[in-house]
Amino acid sequence: AEGVAAVDTVTRRRTALVPYATDTGPVTTGEYRGGGMGIALSPDGGTVYVGVHVPGARGTLEAIDTERRAVVDTLPVGRRPFDVDVSGDGRRIYATGHDSFDVTVVDAAAWTSRRVEVAPYGTEGGLGSWLKPHYAAVRPSDGALLLPFEGERLAVVDPDTGRVRIERMTADTHQHGVAVTEDGTLFAVGTGPIDPSTDAGPSLTVRAPDGEERVIPLDGPHEDVVVTADGRTAYVSGGFTRDGYWDGISVVDVATGEVTRVPAGTRPLGMVLLGGAASADTDAG
C-alpha cells in the first residue's frame, strides 16, 4: 500500500522503497486497500510496471525506472488492476481491471491505451459480481492474452483487434492465478467453489495447446502459480486473497500430479523462480 520495494536477492535486504505517484488514500491493509496490485518487469529489465488500485475510482498504471528508482510515467487503466503483464517483445503492457471487466492494452513506446472488455458472463452484478477477470498470461506463440473464468470459460484476447474468443474449460471452480510455458501449456489455479453445492474444489488445471485439460486437485484455496522452464514442476501459492489461505506452497509434479506441501513464510501470494529450470527435487528459488 506504500510503494514498490527493491530487494537485493543476495543479501535479502530492501534497498529502496519507491512511493506511488498516485494518491490512493490512507495506507491500510486488506483485500480492498489502495495501492499496488499487479506488477511486471519489462524484458530489458529497465522498467517495472505496477497496477495501482484507487478505492472508488479507476486505477493507474505506473512505470518505474529501475535505475533511477522513481516513477517516470502514469496512465489511467481499469478499476482495481489485479494483474499486469508485458508482451515478450516489451511493446505492450496489459493491465487487467478486475472491477471494470476489462483489459487495458498499453503501447509502451507511445504510452497510449485502449480498453478491451473481457466479460464472458456479462457485467451484471457490477462490483459485487464474482464473474470478473483476475489474472492473465501472454501466449508466446501469438501474443494472445489468456484469462480463465470459473473453470468453465477461457477468454482468448487478440490484442491487435480487441476481439475476445471463448473456449471451454473443465475444472468448474473459481479461478485466479495463471502461467503459460513456452510451448503454450496453460496453468490455472482453481481457488474453490463459489457455490459448494454445485462447483468443484481447489485445483490446478494443466491445459495443453490443443485444449486438452488435466485437473489436479489441491488441498485448500491457492492463489498464484509459477512453472519451471522445463515445464516439469509447478509452484502454487497458498496465500489466497480471501479467507481460507494457508502459509505455504504446493509443489506439483506436472507429469504425475503428485503434490507436496511446504511451509513458506506468511500468506505467500506472488512468486518468481530464480535460476531457471528445476524439477521437484531441486532448490528452484
pLDDT above 90 covers what percent of the chain? 87
| Residue 140 falls inside a structural domain | no
The reported pLDDT for the residue numbered 276 is 53
Domain holding 162: CATH number? 2.130.10.10
Domain count, the chain: 2
**Cβ proximity of 249 and 262 under 8 Å:** yes
Domain identity same for 154 and 278: yes
Residues 6 or more apart whose CB falls under 8 angstroms from that of 123 comprise 101, 117, 129
The Cα 185–Cα 197 span in angstroms is: 30
- The neighbour count for residue 60, using CB atoms within 10 Å, is 22
Neighbours of 119 (CB within 10 A): 17
Please give the average per-residue pLDDT across 99-112, as a whole number.
Answer: 97
Averaged pLDDT for residues 245-265: 96
Say if residue 282's pLDDT is above 80: no
Instruction: Return mean pLDDT, the chain.
Output: 93
Model pLDDT, residue 111: 97
> Exposed (0-12), middle (13-18) or buried (19+): which is 155, by Cβ within 10 Å?
buried
Same domain, 167 and 86: no
Question: Do 157 and 285 sit in the same domain of this protein?
Answer: yes
Asked if residue 174 lies in contact with residue 130, where contact means CB atoms within 8 angstroms, the answer is: yes
Range of the domain at 88: 1-133
Does the pLDDT of residue 279 top 80, yes or no? no
Q: Are residues 128 and 152 in the same domain?
A: no
Residue 207 contacts residue 186 (beta carbons within 8 Å): yes
245 belongs to a structural domain: yes
Q: What mean pLDDT do residues 44-49 have? A: 97
Query: How high is the pLDDT of residue 284?
Result: 32
pLDDT digits (tens, 9 = 90+) for 170-215: 999 999 999 999 999 999 999 999 899 999 999 999 999 999 999 9
55-62, long-range: CB < 8 A, 24+ apart: 55/24, 55/25, 58/100, 59/95, 59/97, 60/20, 60/21, 60/22, 61/93, 61/95, 61/104, 61/106, 61/113, 62/20, 62/21, 62/22
C-alpha–C-alpha distance, residues 58 and 146, integer Å: 23
Whether 141 and 170 have beta carbons less than 8 Å apart is answered as no
Q: Look at residue 141 and tell me if it is in a domain.
A: no
Same structural domain, 165 and 95: no
Burial class (CB in 10 A: 0-12, 13-18, 19+), 169: buried
Tell me the C-alpha distance between 163 and 226, whole Å. 27
Tell me the whole-structure pTM to 2 decimals.
0.92
Residues in contact with 239: Cβ distance below 8 Å, sequence separation at least 6, in sequence order: 223, 245, 246, 247, 266, 267, 268, 269
Q: Are residues 102 and 211 in the same domain?
A: no
